Amino acid sequence: MVDSERSRFDWLDLLWLAFLAGLALLPPVNEIHKQLVLLAIGAFQVFEGWLIARLHGRGAVYSILVKTALATLLLEHTGDAGINSSYYPIYYLPVVTAAINFGAIGTILWTLGISLAYCSLLIPALQEFEVLPSGYLELAIRVLFFFLAGMLVNRFVVENKKQVLRYQHLSEQLAQTNRELQRVQADARRAERLAALGQLSAGLAHEIRNPLGVIKGSAEMLEKKLQGGKPLESELAGYISSEVNRLNGLVTRFLDFARPSQLELSPLRIESVLERALEAAHARYPAAAVTVARDYAKNQPAILVDEQLCEQVFVNLIFNAYEAMDGLSGKLRVATSAESRDGQPGLCVEIEDSGPGVLPELREQIFNPFVTSKKTGVGLGLSIVAKIVDDHRGTIQLKSGAGQGARFQVFLPAAPGATGAASASGTGEGSAKETGTGTADLPA
């Protein structure tokens, strides 16, 4: 039971008070001590939940001791011999409290103590009365009923707690399943968008490439005829040719995004691919002060991937990390770890930078085509990366938020029968020259 619920006053407390008031109105009515003890029991019963909620285990102990003392005091004032009082069932209150708050052994021990408190009333009774064998038999029956009631309530409480735990476990499983379902639905929607945009891109690319070839050929012929005679016109014709080359590269990337990947799979250790990607970043940004921390797992499985496409994935992610760091200075962490997702063993690679991170409004769309926060570029880089990872039956996720740096996790399934192998770890430094933020596109 939740602490806040146990400490709350509700209508059941009113019932307690009503029942105790009924006992107070029964004979002997003129016994003021009985009225006071019943009032104390009622007041304590109302505030018992608050006491247990605040003091936890100690609160239950105090509650049992106080109820036992009040029950003993009530019996002393409700009969010629307290042991023979008709109010003896009041001892069920501390017995039930013990059964609710302690286990089976604790319930037995506390019930034994409560029974001894009840039997202690026999000592003054023996000084004034003679107890017949039938009286001892009656006393034994009452005591045994204390134990029977305690164990019965304890059994019910234990089963109730087990049921609550089962419901909690089921609720957690349902919540986890719901999260997985939402993730799968998001992946399905993204796959549908990718498929539709891929078909559109393929059609446009083919239609654009033909006139581009005509324009480029015409510009080259014009440039040759104008050489030497008209330098300005020749320079403008050169601009036409270079821009056509740039557009042709963009069309090629559209086609790379649209066409199905032809994978040449082979078992591969990821460290060599990551090192080549880091070297490519160092060569592209030779002047940057970026500290690279390598955290490679010592025992990691080989993965079954297309080596060239796999390198393209990490080159793009590392280039993005370099460009996202302000002034191209900061920290870049490259880590690997053996993991298992949905029962599939594999390898998780993390690329984490110390840049500004990805804006919240872009987090859900960061892997969609044509989504980018850069002033230049068309936003195909990460969408191509996601497509390559999907083709390898892996997953890519963005874990961090804006202002925390970008942390991409790439999970790739292990090769069948792959075993872990030791790999080196350490730190290194790279450098870069260009600055930028956001998402970088794959180089043409």
267 CA to centre of own chain: 32
- Provide the 3-class DSSP secondary structure of residue 266: strand
**Per-residue DSSP letter, 20:** H
Give residue 24's region: left, alpha or beta (phi > 0; psi -120 to 50).
alpha
Q: Looking at residue 440, what DSSP letter applies?
A: P
- Give the domain 265-430 fold: Heat Shock Protein 90 (3.30.565)
Helix (H, G, I), strand (E, B) or coil at 391: helix
Whether residue 4 has pLDDT greater than 50: no
439: which 2 tokens?
A: 């998402």
Element (H or E) spanning 380, and its range?
A: none
| List of residues 6+ apart from 305 with CB closer than 8 A | 263, 265, 266, 268, 392, 412
Place of tokens 């999970």: 411
Give residue-wise pLDDT tens across range 193-212: 667 766 776 677 767 777 87
What are 176's two structure tokens?
């986890």
Write down the domain spans for the chain.
3-131, 188-258, 265-430
DSSP state string for 172-232 = HHHHHHHHHHHHHHHHHHHHHHHHHHHHHHHHHHHHHHHHHHHHHHHHHHHHHHHTTT-HH
Residue at token pair 């036992």: 68
Give the mean model confidence (pLDDT) for residues 25-53: 81
Average pLDDT over residues 42-51: 83
Which whole number is the average pLDDT over 97-115? 94
CATH architecture of the domain covering 188-258: Orthogonal Bundle (1.10)
Give residue 444's pLDDT.
31
Question: Cβ atoms within 10 A of the Cβ of 295, count?
Answer: 14
Does pLDDT of 408 surpass 50? yes
Rounded Cα distance between 353 and 345, Å, is 26
Q: Which residue has the higher pLDDT, 309 or 245?
A: 309
Alpha-carbon distance of 279 to 284, in angstroms, equals 9
- Residue 125 has a pLDDT of 79
Contacts of 332 (CB under 8 A, 6+ apart): 290, 291, 292, 293, 318, 321, 322, 325, 351, 352, 353, 354, 430
The residue type of 444 is A
Q: What is the DSSP string of 63-109?
A: HHHHHHHHHHHHHHTSSSSGGG-TTGGGGHHHHHHHHHHS-HHHHHH
Going by pLDDT thresholds of 50, 70 and 90, the confidence category of residue 66 is very high
End-to-end Cα separation, the chain, in angstroms: 63
Question: Helix or strand or coil: residue 375?
Answer: coil
